Amino acid sequence: MTARILSGTEFRDQIYGELAQQIADLRGARIRPGLAAVLVGENPASQIYVRSKIAACEQLGLGSWLHTPSSNVTTGELLALIGELNANPEVDAILVQLPLPAQVDSKRVLEAVDPAKDVDGFHPVNLGRLVSGRDGLVACTPAGSMEILRRGGIAVDGANAVVVGRSDIVGKPMALLLMHANATVTICHSKTRDLPEVVRRADIVVAAIGRPAMVERSWVRPGATVIDVGINRITDAEQARRIFANFPAKLAQFKEKGSVLVGDVHPETAEVAGAITRVPGGVGPLNIAMLMSNTVKAARLRRGAAVTFSAATAKP
């Protein structure tokens, strides 16, 4: 059996199509949703991520602003910038790109963001709303994973779901979203006893533990759905040979580039799963799509009942 591939790229394009109409409705009400991104220093990976987010804003016709404090910025200086963005009525969404430099108190900065503009869904107020099942802004990766399940036609209601990883950014909110969708949820972590056996009981597996190819083929029940959240860059030749022994194209890619991406799920798992996301091309494309969706949602929520969407585009 070969798993059905759940394409994040396909679902991203669907979401962008829906957002285009929602944005048009907002523009008709003379509202242009806008995202302000804060990128500290010159981390190459962070620069790529932020540029892609700004490009998505431009593609959809959203406003965007990029603030680039130097790497020696202080916590106080960042708090002042966040205060200015909170007070700016044109800014609906604020994104603080992580990681921040060691001298910055990241928690203070993230908690300074107005919860109504917190499109990363990291603020304690938004986490509290998620816990209580109230409408709010949800972290992009778990929200995107739920969109993959929904758009992929995966039945969540009544399913046994296992989330491998308990981070505040992915694992915990993912478990809450699944629970609100009526799944029976187990959260696993490094101290879980007999982890493979726990995972084997799942109808839906979400791997978000940050360890390359940790979830092996033998861990997954035949026919289960697997959402691979991890993105790990392999640069060690022996590790690449071990993981991709049966994938010559990946080994050729490693030989050419000196690195290759792999998720938290071993690629051989696709031979037993019923449906699975790839790395890259699975959850990744949904992260930016959900950031755009959250930006539009933030604009709508901040203006309350003054904004209505076309019936065909409003989500339930």
pLDDT along the chain (316 residues), means of 10: 93 97 92 96 89 96 96 97 97 96 96 97 95 94 98 98 96 98 96 97 97 97 97 96 96 96 97 97 96 96 60 40
35 beta partners: 64, 93
DSSP per-residue string spanning 64-114: EEEE---TT--HHHHHHHHHHHHH-TT--EEEEPSPPPTTS-HHHHHHHS-
Report pTM: 0.92
State residue 308's pLDDT score.
47
Domain ranges for the chain: 28-120, 140-283
Span 28-120: which CATH code?
3.40.50.10860
Same fold, 28-120 and 140-283: yes
State residue 310's pLDDT score.
42
From 22, 92, 97, 117, active-site residue: 97
Q: What is the spatial distance between Cα 129 and Cα 184, in angstroms, rounded to a whole number?
A: 20
Active-site residue flag, 97: yes
State residue 1's pLDDT score.
67
Q: What is the spatial distance between Cα 32 and Cα 307, in angstroms, rounded to a whole number?
A: 12
Give the architecture-level CATH label for domain 140-283: 3-Layer(aba) Sandwich (3.40)
How many Cβ atoms from other residues are within 10 Å of residue 305's Cβ?
6
State residue 2's pLDDT score.
86
State residue 190's pLDDT score.
87
State residue 299's pLDDT score.
95
10 Å CB burial of residue 39 (0-12, 13-18, 19+) is buried
From 120, 203, 228, 264, active-site residue: 120
End-to-end CA distance of the chain: 35
Active-site residue flag, 120: yes
Active-site residue flag, 264: no
Q: What is the spatial distance between Cα 226 and Cα 207, in angstroms, rounded to a whole number?
A: 8
From 53, 117, 172, 297, active-site residue: 53
How many Cβ atoms from other residues are within 10 Å of residue 273's Cβ?
24
Q: What is the spatial distance between Cα 270 and Cα 102, in angstroms, rounded to a whole number?
A: 39
